[in-house]
Amino acid sequence: MKPRTARLLLSLSLSGLLAACGGENVKPAAPAASRPVTAAKPVKIGVALGGGAAKGFAHIGVIKMLEANGFEPVVVSGTSAGSVVGALYASGMNAFDMQQKAVSLDQASIRDVRLFSGGLIQGQKLQDYVNAQVGNKPAEQLKKPFAAVATQLETGERAVFVRGNVGQAVRASSSVPGVFEPVTIGGKTFVDGGVVSPVPVDAARQLGAEFVIAVDISSKASGQRPSGLLGTLNQSISIMGQRLGEQELARADVVIRPQVLDIGAADFEQRGRAILEGEKAAMAAMPQIRAGIARLQQAHAASARNADARASAAATEAYQRCLDGRSRLDKLRGKEGSCAAPVR
C-alpha cells in the first residue's frame, strides 16, 4: 500500500471514531425519576391569653419574644384582657405595633361610665375601639383564627365567639360583673369569660392549635385583701374560676406566668412594666417551648416518612398486580404492557 493511501485510510478511521464518540447523536442517559419526598407540615402554634385587666399588657411582651425567636402563633384565643390583645394580634398587628398602641392608649377612649345600669362601665367605647383597630372586620375575616371567650349568664356555660362582631365579642369577654354592664347578643346575656375559662386553652385547641402556649396573669388568693372595688371584684372572679382554670391550664403544652400579680386591675401606668415582665417570662420559658416544638417536628417528620413508605408499598403492589394480569403472550415476550413501574 502506498504511503499516501495509508495516510488517507488512517485519517478516515480516526474521523469515524471521533464521530462515534462525540457526535450529536450520542445523548446521555436520562436520570431515573424519583418519588417526591413528602414535606413534614409545620407545627401549628396557638396562644391562649388569660384575663387580668391592666395586667394584660404582659401579653404583648410574651408575643414579642415568641416572634423574635421564630415561634409566631397562628391561632389566638383570649379571655377578658387577653381577648383585647388577642383581637389586635389576630387582625395582623405584630407585637411592636401593639406596644405602640398600648403606650398611646388613653383610658378615656375605652371607658364609658354609666351609673345605675347594671355596671359602672357600659363597654360601648371598648367595643368601638377594638372594631376600629381591626378595621371593622368580622372575626372570620381576621388574618389569624381568633376566639373570644365569655360566660353566658343564664346558664353559666362557656361561650366561644369565633364569628361576627369582634368588638362586641371582646366586650362580652371583658364584662366583669359589677364593673361592666352585661352584654346581650342574640337574645342571650354574657359576662366576663374569666368566670368559666380564665385562660382559654381549650378554645385555642378548638381553633386547630397543636401546641398551645398559655399565658396566665390571673390574680390568686394570696391572703391579702385587694385594694379598691375593681381589685376586689377581679380577685373574686379569679377565685371562682381558679379550680376550672387549673384543670384547663393542665391541658396547655407550656404555661407562662409573668410576674404582674402586684399590678392593680386599673393600673394602666404600669403598662410598660407589664410588657417587660411578659418578655422576661417568655424568655425564661423558651427552652421548654423549643423542646416541645422539636418533639412535634420530629413526630411530623416520622409521620411524613411513614406516609411515603405506605405510598411506595401501595404503588409496588399495584404494579405487581398489573404484571400478573398481563396476557400470556406479553409475559412470554417480556413486555410490561400498560403497567407503569413505580417511581423510587
235: CATH: 3.40.1090.10
Domain assignment present for 83? yes
Domain assignment present for 99? yes
What per-residue confidence (pLDDT) applies to 10? 41
What per-residue confidence (pLDDT) applies to 286? 98
Q: Which of 77, 80, 91, 175 is catalytic?
A: 80
Tell me: pLDDT of 57 over 70.
yes
Instruction: Indicate the range of 49-58, 274-283, 305-314, 330-339 predicted with least confidence.
Output: 330-339
pLDDT digits (tens, 9 = 90+) for 215-250: 999 876 656 676 666 667 666 766 666 777 889 999
At 20, the pLDDT band (50, 70, 90 cuts) reads very low
Domain assignment present for 321? no
What per-residue confidence (pLDDT) applies to 231? 67
What per-residue confidence (pLDDT) applies to 24? 42
Domain assignment present for 87? yes
What per-residue confidence (pLDDT) applies to 112? 87
pLDDT digits (tens, 9 = 90+) for 121-152: 899 999 999 999 999 999 999 999 999 999 99
Report the largest interatomic distance among the alpha carbons of the chain, rounded to a whole angstrom. 128
- Our count of domains for the chain comes to 1
pLDDT digits (tens, 9 = 90+) for 300-342: 787 777 777 788 788 787 777 877 777 676 666 666 667 777 7
Domain assignment present for 262? yes
C-alpha cell at 299: 413526630
Structural domain for 280, as ranges = 45-299
Tell me: pLDDT of 33 over 60.
no
284: nearest Cα among 221, 213, 200: 213
Domain assignment present for 318? no
Q: Which of 77, 192, 202, 238 is catalytic?
A: 192
At 31, the pLDDT band (50, 70, 90 cuts) reads very low
192 is catalytic: yes
Domain assignment present for 6? no
Domain assignment present for 192? yes
Give Cα 252 distance to the centre of its chain: 13
Antiparallel, parallel or unpaired: β 158-161 and 254-256: unpaired
